[in-house]
Amino acid sequence: MAIRVLDPKVAGRIAAGEVVERPASVVKELVENSLDAGATRVSVEARGGGVGLIRVTDDGSGIGTDEVETAFGRFATSKLGTADDLYSITTLGFRGEALPSIAAVADVEAITCLGGRASGDFVRLHDGEVAEHRPAGRSTGTTVTVRGLFRAVPARLKFLRSAATENAHIARVVSRYALAFPEVGFTLDIDGRTVLNTPGTGRDTDAVAAVYGAEVASKLLPIRADDAPRWQDGGPEVAGMVGGPDLSRANRDSLSLFVNRRWISSRNLAWAVEEAYQGMLMTGRHPVAIIKIRIPPGEVDVNIHPTKAEVKFRNERAMFAAVQKAVRSTLVESAPLARIEDPVAPYTAPPSARQSWSTPRPAPSTFMLPLEATPTPGAVLPALRVLGQLDSTYIIAEGPDGLYLIDQHAAHERVVYERVLDQQARRQVEVQGLLEPVPLEVTPEQDEVLRDGYKQLEAFGFSIEPFGNRTYLVRSIPAVLGGKEWGAMMREALDAVIEGKRTDWTEDITVTLACHSAIRAGQTLTDNEMRELVRQLEQTGVPRSCPHGRPAVIHLSTRQLEREFRRA
Ligand code: ADP
Ligand code: MG
């Protein structure tokens, strides 16, 4: 095919694909514009998962009559003057791509009024072009309304998930900005319901309470970094709030990082935070933390990705060390009762970028088993004789062909998982009633999925109903939980649904339920308990792995042992 320069409309749509991935991206860009315009109040409205309508209203500077059409042109920005300015960015936007990108994939209207003017402008764009521009009345500020997102890009529309999930992503975006800008009052309305309302007092605790609930806010410690450099002296200055070890989560969603008020995604810095908790959190648990970093703008490059969520630091190691130190000293000073193995946390090299984030770090150990032990492949387990427990974590057992090591948590997870499925199939779910209804408070994003699906939880033994204001009343819980902390289980399951790793809600709930009900590593078991667990494991359909796919059993065959001991 001959080489041709693309039609500008096609080029615009291709570029839009990078900026506008899903409805939440539109919300992000519009909110950033409001914040850049100095707004003190930002209200966001979404309908139909954001595909029907997204509207962002602010009381910021507004746009002048002569400029309002220009603002929708590609690479039109008031935030950068020269190429050098790229290296000292202090605004959230700067690429001049958001408004034209949104207009390329949706119908857009804006009403705006520049400060000091008596009236403003209305513009309407269709197919990326200005279709209407006339005077309109409003007070200082801007309202942008986006309708029919991706209607002209069916391929993109197909990739969107349920309205509830898209809503949850929108809620997440607004929540992040609410945390980053506590002095701005945010409201978020989804399909006519107010799901978030922050007071805009400027205090971190108030913003955190609005997003995570009062209980979490009361458990967060303000970061102390008295001896840290100030950002004017080259920084990095680290502020924010961190949760004590009792506030852990099963995933990293509650760890938010901000650099010069921009939410960023950084495995490296997330790892620095986790490092600071060394010895305080159980394996597989992650902290709740809001980390706000300030550095001179020249120290960070925010222009490496169209969504501006990934950044590059001039001195990555210094950033890592500063974050780790600030979090660590806050935890050590504020929580002297926590079990702390090495109070002076040494600098640890971050994992290389290539290393998979989910790869667990090997536990420090002087003795390594030189055997090529393999997870048992077969679907069934032979009858096993329990020999003892290792490290309060593994059961050692003997079988017809060698030695079996069983991870007690993974094994029990598998047992509970199959029990839950079985009870559901037979419609005989064991339920434990609570003495009185207990309120469960969830975040705006969790609320979006729970509101949609709380009835599905009944099949598991939960009796739960909405109680208004992101609160639900729980009257009964599944008996398999055995009185364990079900609130954490519920939040984790909701997060899993939002992440959308699975297509089926039920599967997420079952897996999380099993994980939370199962005995933990580190728990000493009696001989009887071990025998009972092994017996139950033998009867499951897939005894060799837990529902997450982690091995539950490692088998060392007699042949392997003979080889290792050079007997054969
Ligand atoms: P960028 O934010 O990268 O400059 P955008 O396409 O998002 O690019 O916006 C283009 C320009 O439109 C901005 O630089 C700003 O001058 C103006 N603008 C957009 N939204 C607003 C708003 N809510 N209030 C005031 N000005 C705005
Ligand atoms: Mg912008």
Q: Indicate the CATH number for domain 215-333.
A: 3.30.230.10
Q: Whose CA is nearest to atom 8 of ligand 1?
A: 96
- Give pLDDT, residue 288: 92
CATH 3.30.1540.20 domain locations along the chain: 385-556
Given the candidates 3.30.1330.90, 1.10.1740.10, 3.30.565.10, 3.90.1150.10, the CATH classification of the domain at 8-202 is 3.30.565.10
Buried b (16+ CB within 10 A) or exposed e, 182-213: bebbbbbbbbeeebbbbebeeebebbbbbbbb
Q: Using a 6 Å cutoff on CB, does residue 78 contact ligand 1?
A: yes
When pLDDT is cut at 50, 70 and 90, the band that residue 370 belongs to is very low
CATH 3.30.230.10 domain locations along the chain: 215-333
Mean pLDDT of 530-541: 89
Helix (H/G/I), strand (E/B), else coil: 559:
helix
- pTM of structure: 0.73
Q: Are 44 and 186 in contact (CB under 8 A)?
A: yes
CATH 3.30.565.10 domain locations along the chain: 8-202
Residue 23's alpha-carbon distances to 28, 43, 284, 405, 513, in angstroms, are 9, 16, 31, 48, 31
Q: pLDDT of 274-308, one tens digit each?
A: 989 887 877 778 899 999 999 988 888 887 777 77
Q: How far apart are CA 398 and CA 386, in angstroms?
A: 6
DSSP 93-115: --SS-HHHHHHHHSEEEEEEE-T
Cα(294) to ligand 2 centroid in Å equals 21
Q: Determine the topology of domain 385-556 in CATH.
A: formyl-coa transferase, domain 3 (3.30.1540)
Cα(9) to ligand 2 centroid in Å equals 20
Q: Using a 6 Å cutoff on CB, does residue 74 contact ligand 1?
A: no
Q: Using a 6 Å cutoff on CB, does residue 142 contact ligand 1?
A: yes
- Give pLDDT, residue 28: 95
pLDDT over 70 percentage in the chain? 89
Helix (H/G/I), strand (E/B), else coil: 516:
helix
Mean pLDDT of 162-167: 92
Mean pLDDT of 334-349: 37
Q: Which residue did the predictor score with more confidence, 493 or 372?
A: 493
When pLDDT is cut at 50, 70 and 90, the band that residue 35 belongs to is very high
When pLDDT is cut at 50, 70 and 90, the band that residue 227 belongs to is low
- Give pLDDT, residue 14: 73
Q: How far apart are CA 497 and CA 488, in angstroms?
A: 14
The number of the ligand 1 atom at minimal distance from the alpha carbon of 95 is 3
Q: Using a 6 Å cutoff on CB, does residue 240 contact ligand 1?
A: no
Q: pLDDT of 460-494, one tens digit each?
A: 999 999 998 899 999 999 998 887 888 888 988 88
Instruction: Of 96-100, 134-138, 255-259, give the lowest mean pLDDT range.
Output: 96-100
Q: Using a 6 Å cutoff on CB, does residue 561 contact ligand 1?
A: no
Mean per-residue pLDDT over the chain, rounded: 84
* H/E segment holding residue 219: helix 214-219
- Give pLDDT, residue 54: 98
Mean pLDDT of 307-324: 87
Q: CB within 5 A of ion ligand 2: which residues?
A: 33, 93, 98
Q: Using a 6 Å cutoff on CB, does residue 177 contact ligand 1?
A: no
The number of the ligand 1 atom at minimal distance from the alpha carbon of 32 is 2
Q: Are 7 and 1 in contact (CB under 8 A)?
A: no
- Let me know if 139 is exposed, middle or buried by CB neighbors in 10 A (0-12, 13-18, 19+): exposed
Pocket test for ligand 1, best of 26, 33, 145 (most atoms within 8 A of CB): 33
Mean pLDDT of 95-105: 89
